């Protein structure tokens, strides 16, 4: 079984105040320092909400890229933008209300017609997005971009 099927462990060690060092338990992979924003922490690293947004964006990007490559669509680049909206629940507690993800794969014009099936499927294979959708609205948009043409001077 792969790690994804068995699960995994991540450890956090308190450094100071609300700052933690994260060990992902992966040989050769550096850790990450997390911190809460001011006034609680010093803002010396991403907080959990930012990591969740990055995780959703990364998972969707990777799922789309995997499907497109399987379909032999040449993706020469990809930019992903994630917008996270914070809201308050009935008790006044801050929550992530919505995550909106815009994927911008760069695909040659001649390959774009073969993308439709992947664009219909890829979200369902994103472990993180499908796991959080039960509690957070996640919107996804894909805007395919053509490679930049070189200017001739």
What confidence category does residue 135 fall into, taking pLDDT thresholds of 50, 70 and 90? confident
Contact 97, 137 (CB under 8 A): yes
Asked if residue 28 is part of any domain, the answer here is: no
Q: What would the mean pLDDT of 20-41 be, rounded to a whole number?
A: 96
Chain mean pLDDT for the chain? 92
Asked if residue 12 is part of any domain, the answer here is: no
Smallest Cα–Cα separation from 56: which of 147, 153, 137? 137
pTM confidence score: 0.87
Q: Hey, CA dihedral for 132, 133, 135, 140, is it positive or negative?
A: positive
Please give the helix or strand (H or E) that residue 36 lies within, else none.
none
Any idea what the CATH number is for the domain that residue 126 is in? 3.30.300.20
Please count the structural domains in the chain: 1
Taking every pair of Cα atoms in the chain, the longest distance, rounded to a whole number of angstroms, is: 62
Asked if residue 31 is part of any domain, the answer here is: no
Reported as a single tens digit per residue, the pLDDT across 90-125 is 999 999 999 999 999 999 999 999 999 999 999 999
Asked if residue 88 is part of any domain, the answer here is: yes
């Amino acid at each position: 079984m792969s790690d994804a099927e068995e699960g995994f462990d991540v450890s956090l060690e308190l450094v100071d105040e609300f700052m933690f060092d994260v060990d992902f338990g992966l040989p050769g992979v550096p850790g990450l320092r997390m911190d809460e924003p001011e006034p609680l922490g010093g803002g010396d690293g991403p907080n959990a909400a930012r990591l969740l947004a990055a995780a959703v964006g990364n998972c969707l990007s990777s799922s789309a890229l995997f499907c497109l490559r399987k379909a032999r669509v040449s993706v020469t680049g990809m930019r992903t933008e994630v917008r996270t909206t914070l809201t308050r629940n009935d008790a006044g507690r801050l929550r992530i209300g919505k995550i909106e993800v815009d994927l911008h794969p760069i695909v040659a014009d001649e390959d774009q017609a073969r993308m439709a099936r992947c664009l219909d499927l890829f979200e369902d294979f994103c472990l993180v997005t499908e796991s959080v959708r039960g509690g957070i609205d996640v919107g996804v948009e894909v805007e395919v971009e053509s490679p930049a043409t070189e200017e001739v001077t």
